[in-house]
Structure 1
Amino acid sequence: MFTGFTDETVDFMWGIRFNNERGWFEAHKQTYLTQFYQPMCALADELYDFLAHQRPNLGLIRKVTRIYRDARRLHGRGPYKDHLWFCVEQPAEQWTAHPTFWFELGPDGWSYGLGYYMARPLTMAKLRARMDRDPKPMERLTRDLERQTEFTLETEDYKRPRSAPSRPALAPWYQAKSFSITHQDKLTDELFGRDIVAHLQQGFAFLLPYYDYFVTLDGDPDPRET
């Protein structure tokens, strides 16, 4: 059971940011395991159980990142991350294919939400085609998003929209190359106890109707063939 992150968690994150080399990490590896990685796994397990209970037929899985960067993609950076995250999603051959619930903790703060990491162009084309066919469900979801203050829509946009929106309120979705519905915060006190569990459960519960909408896009017809 998750009992909270600690001051040692924060100290380690800042430490690895400014001492990103093997010697320092090996000297502090036990702190990484007990104060960072293992608590993150415990938190991931609780949120996975919550979401799997809400959607038992989706075959959800949970993943927790490790601290080691891919040696092929260092690009001048050190070999370790200074942040960790977990995600809950449906399994897929291409891991960017499905929408993902996620939580991330770094030395500067934490964030969580729902979205895609580099959504496939076909996924976004199917989203636009679905909104063209029946705009009302996404209009309702967009209104609900605008009425609350926990999450914001963050998009990576095309330089030029691929098509005109069926309704003005839906314009941000038509412009998006990829997107996430995100909450970002500083290192709040709730991280250091169980309050963060209830916070994330409440937020993910709000996001479930969005997940239900996006996760079914794969089953839509290919708009390039119509």
Structure 2
Amino acid sequence: MAFSEKSLAFLFENRMHDSRAWYQEHKTQYQQYVAQPCKALIQQVQPYLAQIDPQISCTPRCMSRIYRDTRFSKDKSLFRTSFWCTFSRPRDGGEYPAFYFEAGQEGFSYGCGFYHASTVQMQLLRQMIQEQSPSYLAARQAMDSQQTFSLYGELYKRNHFPDAPSEQQDWLNRRNMGASCQSTDFPLLFSDALPQVLGEGYVQLTPFYRFLLNAAEQA
């Protein structure tokens, strides 16, 4: 079961109404157009993720909730306008890198990274980069040999590593670390080919994931 234009249309209309009563009256549409395709996607990408790391959790619990957490937000809107799935090892009190997929009105994205890497994890990543560790070199080769994914993570306002080789600086000067593909290919989003594209992309990022995982395991 694939996503469709109705998936995004429901999220948009639900957000416009911003009403628990309206949502409850139309909950079957949410199940049909959003939740069920999400669950099907999770099942279809599971074999790819198991190939990368058997410890990655890949269950319906990986799907985002439709209700927003408004406790610490000025925006008190009740509902999300996008949906996502995140796949990582069980946290057990720690932060692990995750594979993810997210879709909304403006398109979709997928990739791998930390949601919010700790200071210690970023220090370990930088140490591996500066030491030219095999894990980092494999990750960089994986990134350099493709054109689908780009590094993400807020950059420092000034260069903290001016003496580092130029090819390392884009990695070293980030507050967080991940790799992402941003797409507006709605025909792909609404097609049965989406799970395979995501799965093959995740596999392509395996060396990058292992680089991040090394830092998570050492922290």
Unaligned runs of 5+ in 1: none
Q: Distance in 2 between matches of 1:106 and 1:198?
A: 20
Q: Which residue number in structure 1 is paired with residue 146 of structure 2? A: 148
Q: Residues 1-226 of structure 1 correspond to what in structure 2 (within 5 A)?
A: 3-56=1-54, 59-62=55-58, 63-94=62-93, 97-135=95-133, 137-163=135-161, 166-220=164-218
More deviation in 18-27 or 137-146?
137-146
Contact 2:45-2:196 within 8 A present in 1 as well: no
Larger RCO (alpha carbons 8 Å, 6+ apart): 2
Structure 1 residue 187, shift from structure 2 partner: 4.9
The separation in 2 between residues aligned to 1:219 and 1:24, in whole angstroms, is: 45
CA distance in 1, matches of 2:163, 2:125: 11
Contact 1:131 1:138 in 2 (8 A): yes
Q: Is this contact kept in 2: 1:114–1:180, CA < 8 A?
A: yes
Counterpart code for 1:83: S
Cα distance, 1:32–1:219 mapped onto 2, change above 3 Å: closer
Distance 1:36 1:22 in 2: 17
Structure 1 residue 219: Cα displacement: 3.9
**Aligned-CA RMSD value:** 2.1
Instruction: Decide whether the 8 Å contact of 1:157 with 1:177 is kept in 2.
Output: yes
CA shift for structure 1 position 209: 1.1
Q: Which stretches of structure 1, 4 residues or longer, exceed 3 Å deviation after superposition?
A: 159-166
SS where residue 193 of structure 1 aligns? coil
* Contact persistence 2:143–2:208 (CA under 8 A): no
The separation in 1 between residues aligned to 2:177 and 2:18, in whole angstroms, is: 30
How far does the alpha carbon of each residue in 1:84-139 deviate from its partner, in whole angstroms, 9 at most, with x for none?
A: 111111111346x1111000111221110001112111100001112222356534
Structure 2 contact 101–111 (Cα < 8 Å) conserved? yes
Aligned residues: 216
200-209 or 166-175, which deviates more: 166-175
- Contact kept in structure 2, 1:48 and 1:88, CA below 8 Å: no
Q: Which moved more, 1:159-168 or 1:186-195?
A: 159-168
The percent identity for this pair of structures is 25
Distance 1:51 1:114 in 2: 11
> What's the TM-score, normalizing by structure 2?
0.88
Q: TM-score, normalised by structure 1?
A: 0.86
Shift of 1:142: 2.5
Q: Is the 8 A contact 1:135 1:167 kept in 2?
A: no
